[in-house]
Structure formats: structure tokens, C-alpha cells
């Protein structure tokens, strides 16, 4: 997941298919990569 630094909306970008990362909402070119929330697996004994 990526987040636009201009409008702050989450943008899904496939870097494999498209090299240019542009926000589809505002056309901003600077998009920050954000990490999804990772759930930790806890093994309870």
C-alpha cells in the first residue's frame, strides 16, 4: 500500500506493471510506501 503525500489517500500501485507512481486522485508524484498492519501470531500454550 502507498499513501499520497499530497491528499493523503491510500493508493494501490503495482510497481511491476507501472514504473511511474502517480496518485490517481490528485496526480501527485510523491507517494510514500506504508506498511500494512501486521498481526503477530502468538502461540499460547
Binding of Zn ion by 25 (CB under 5 A):
yes
Identity of the residue, 7 or 15, whose beta carbon is nearer to Zn ion in the bound complex: 7
Q: Which of 7, 15, 30, 34 binds Zn ion (CB under 5 A)?
A: 7
Collect all residues with Cβ–Cβ distance below 8 Å to 3 and sequence separation of at least 6.
9, 10, 11, 31, 32, 33, 34
Q: Which of 2, 6, 21, 22 binds Zn ion (CB under 5 A)?
A: 6
Binding of Zn ion by 26 (CB under 5 A):
yes
What distance in Å separates the CA atoms of residue 23 and residue 33, rounded to the nearest whole number?
12
Amino acid at each position: 500500500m502507498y499513501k499520497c503525500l499530497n491528499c493523503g489517500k491510500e493508493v494501490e500501485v503495482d510497481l511491476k506493471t507501472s514504473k511511474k507512481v502517480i496518485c490517481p486522485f490528485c496526480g501527485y508524484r510523491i507517494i510514500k510506501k506504508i506498511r500494512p498492519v501486521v498481526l503477530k501470531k502468538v502461540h499460547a500454550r
